[in-house]
Amino acid sequence: MAVVSNVSPLTARRRLGAELRKLRDRSGMTAEEVGAHLNCHNSKISRIELGKRACTPRDFEGLMVLYEVAGEQREVLTDLMKRGRQRVPPWWGAYSDVISANYAEFIAYEAEAVRGAEFQSLLIPGLLQTERYAEAVTAGGYAVLGPEQVESLVEVRMRRQDRLREDDPLVLEATVTEAALRLQIGGPAVMQEQLQRLREVMTLPNVTFRVIPFDAGHRGVSGGAFSLFATEAKGEPDVAFTESAEAMTTLRDDPMVLRRLSRVFRRLSDAALSPDATLDLLQRIESELI
């Protein structure tokens, strides 16, 4: 097992949880049996294995004894346990008064992911929005919010976009329907600026943006917007978020859900225009707004 690098608490918890799950499978024990050994409920074991809960030193010691882990492997797992318990406030913690727990979790995964895939049917993905477009979407979608709350949420969205231009940026594949380009959020001037932004971000080597044209028919239909994140460069998605009518994001980490949404995204991508054809469509729609 490789030596642990300077990983974040979230990544450390997920890696430790994955290793503990492997050790439990190898032992042939159920979560209920491990929980009984540690004198806790099996749900606690499941949350530790999913990286949703930090492992306490006492529980960790009990697991190492139970699974008979020693030597270098134990050293690496101990490092992961310690890193997973570090409490380093993330930048979005300053906005806890306006972002939900689900949204905070979404941002955390987005910040840690190596690759991301997003499908939107009616809106431009948040990582690609201009400030004025984001303000129009937020003010219209959350009518109960005051001006200061809208401003804070827009700040969060703009700060998230730094992820695309970091030294080790998120590799993003975004697919939208043509309706997302033609729905005039904020009016013609805002949309013209937004379309120009899309043409700009398409020049980034880590961003792929494609549009499903109207004539794609049923091939471009999906049940709703969703995002997929992978923490390994060549690995399958680790987590997915789906958006409801209320625009709340819900975490889905079930392997069957991940496989299904991955297939859906591939089908939608197959129905989309090529990047060059997408660029032509952007320019054509932009010219109609002038």
131 in the same domain as 37 = no
Nearest to 60 by CA among 6, 105, 16, 14: 16
Contact call for residues 230 and 114 (beta carbons, < 8 A): yes
217 in the same domain as 77 = no
108 in the same domain as 54 = no
Q: Work out how many domains the chain is built from and give that number.
A: 2
60 in the same domain as 147 = no
Amino acid (one-letter) located at 71: G
What's the mean per-residue pLDDT of the chain? 90
**Residue 65 belongs to domain spanning:** 9-84
Contact call for residues 263 and 255 (beta carbons, < 8 A): no
58 in the same domain as 128 = no
Stated length of the chain: 290
Structure tokens at 69: 């882990």
Q: What is the pLDDT of residues 14-38, one digit of tens each?
A: 889 999 999 999 999 999 999 999 9
155 in the same domain as 54 = no
174 in the same domain as 72 = no
Residue where a domain terminates, one of 52, 84, 116? 84
Q: What is the pLDDT of residues 49-81, one digit of tens each?
A: 988 889 999 999 999 999 999 999 999 999 999
Residue where a domain terminates, one of 30, 53, 84? 84
Stronger pLDDT, 275 or 11, i.e. the higher one: 275
Determine, yes or no, domain membership for 3: no
Q: pLDDT band at residue 105, thresholds of 50, 70 and 90?
A: confident
Determine, yes or no, domain membership for 89: no
pLDDT for residue 135: 95
281 in the same domain as 157 = yes
126 in the same domain as 32 = no
Q: What is the pLDDT of residues 143-162, one digit of tens each?
A: 667 889 999 999 999 999 99
Asked if residue 115 has pLDDT above 80, the reply is yes
Helix (H), strand (E), coil (C) string for the chain: CCCCCCCCHHHHHHHHHHHHHHHHHHHCCCHHHHHHHHCCCHHHHHHHHCCCCCCCHHHHHHHHHHHCCCHHHHHHHHHHHHHHCCCCCCHHHHHCCCCCHHHHHHHHHHHHCCEEEEEECCCCCHHHCCHHHHHHHHHHHCCCCCHHHHHHHHHHHHHHHHHHCCCCCCEEEEEEEHHHHHCCCCCHHHHHHHHHHHHHHCCCCCEEEEEECHHHHHHHCCCCCEEEEECCCCCCCCEEEEECCCCCEEEECCHHHHHHHHHHHHHHHHHCCCHHHHHHHHHHHHHHHC
Question: How crowded is the C-beta side of 176, counted as CA atoms within 13 Å?
Answer: 23
